[in-house]
Chain A
Amino acid sequence: MKKVWIFALLAVAMLSGCQSVQYGDATASETVNTDFGSTDLQMIAAKMVDDLLVFPPIVQITAQRRPIAFVDRIKNKTTEHIDLESVTDTIESKLINSGKFRFVDMSVVERVRQQLEYQRDSGMVDDQQAMVMGRQVGAEYMLYGNMSSIVKRDSSTKDVYYKFTLKLMHLETGIIEWSGEKEIRKSKSRGWIGL
């Protein structure tokens, strides 16, 4: 009986030894469950940027200059809480790094105003070197869109369909110059023993 206890202890020790923290590839395919995940975010961003940059009218617009755009919010029409700002941040980064677009960031307008007022009014900043108000450049295009989902389930299967739509509108004319979509389908089935 003593030996059994020894083996049991050994087993527990070895099992706990298998638990470890590891760094993984951030771009690896993530399939923990059917909820919106990192792979979905990366796939959406890659597809949107690919489509936008090779669309012939956009190629023409960006051939000689780098238009300025801003990202409006993406409407979340799904039933999940999804950080869609993270998706648009990735898209914005890719577009900036492509060298084809420049962006203005509406989320920091108030802080920029405070800094400019500080430079102008505080008396702490050399007048010659202070940044001057009223010289920002207006955005020419707006990126906006929405994300929706359809979820279906029965006793053994859950099927989730995501659709992400992004549009690029010319602010002066209101014309939508480009629109892109990415669809994702994920399903999960329970095993025969209910796991």
Chain B
Amino acid sequence: MKKWLVLLLLPLVLVFTGCSSSNMSAIEEQDDGTRATYLKSNNSLLYSRLGIRDPKMTMAGDLMRAQATLENRWKFKLDFQYKVKWFNADGFEIAPEGRPWTTVVMPGRTQLNVQASAPNPTATRFEIWVQE
């Protein structure tokens, strides 16, 4: 009888594990000024494994262009998604649904250049958000 019980309960446990969604809390911004300003995530583990280098902004006419180098600090590959968000001088996000999450796979200890153009001339700053 115990065998039946285990056989029935095991799939249930597995199913419930699969159905539960991970509840990630927003991470604290770290003292690493550059990273905290430009790189954001709700996933503290992913955030700890990524770095950001040389964030740059330039103008194309009156439109802002941004570039930053994402760095996989971990020795194994990282499979994640990123999205560039733009904000105006008042801190409002511009066109929140304007860009898709882009999936990338970064081998261990590698770098990736990310570029984006502002949706309109009101943009003054950008953030790169990452998620698994």
Contact = CB atoms under 8 A, between A and B. Distances in A.
A136 interface: no
Given A18-B19, A53-B60, A62-B61, A42 B1 contact: no
A91 to B, nearest CB: 12
A27 B97 contact: yes
A14 B15 contact: yes
A29 B102 contact: yes
A63 B63 CA distance: 10
Nearest to B5: A7
Interface in A2-46: 3-4, 7-8, 10-11, 14-15, 18, 25-29, 31, 38-39, 42-43, 46
A99 interface: yes
Main secondary structure of the interface of A (DSSP, over half): helix
Contact of A99 (B1, B5, B99, B120): B120
Contact of A59 (B60, B81, B120): B60
A94 B83 contact: no
Interface residues of A, number: 34
Contacts of A56: 60
A38 B101 CA distance: 11
B18 to A, nearest CB: 8
Given A11-B8, A29-B81, A99-B120, A42 B99 contact: yes
Interface in B20-65: 60-63, 65
B102 A43 contact: yes
A94 B98 contact: yes
A100 B117 CA distance: 13
B12 A39 contact: no
A74 interface: no
A53 B120 CA distance: 10
A49 interface: yes
B108 interface: no
Interface residues of B, number: 32
A66 to B, nearest CB: 12
Nearest to B8: A7
Interface string B102-114: 1100000000000
A18 B15 CA distance: 8
Contact of A11 (B12, B63, B119): B12
A165 to B, nearest CB: 19
A175 interface: no
Nearest to B1: A3
Nearest to A22: B21
B81 A54 contact: no
A98 interface: yes
B43 to A, nearest CB: 14
9 contacts: A7-B5, A8-B8, A18-B15, A18-B18, A18-B19, A39-B103, A42-B99, A59-B63, A98-B120
